[in-house]
Amino acid sequence: MIKKIKELLWNKKYAVRIAKKNGIKLNKNHWRIIKFTRNFYYKFYISPSIRILLTAINKKYKINITSIDLIKLFPKNPSLQISKISGIPKPNKCF
């Protein structure tokens, strides 16, 4: 039930608004990461690690996003910013 409520509260407008508050203008790679993160969370009920995220994104889209690229996409704290924009709880290892 809680899962359904959270899904209903999150939408693309919400993601754009949160990203804008964090100084991020979302592009195709941001959306790929957001979509993957949301799907991963609702399948396993945990946020993906950066390593899992990058491996999966690069394999699925046949691109090469590195951890440096991820920092450029989400400059303040990639794990935390991705979670916020994706509308999922922050990762356990986030300070």
**Residues forming the active site:** 94
Return the closest-CA partner of residue 43 out of 62, 59, 56.
56
Number of Cβ atoms within 10 Å of the Cβ of 86: 22
Render 8-41 in DSSP notation, one character per residue: HH--HHHHHHHHHHTT----HHHHHHHHHHHHHH
Tokens (6 digits) for 63: 């691109």
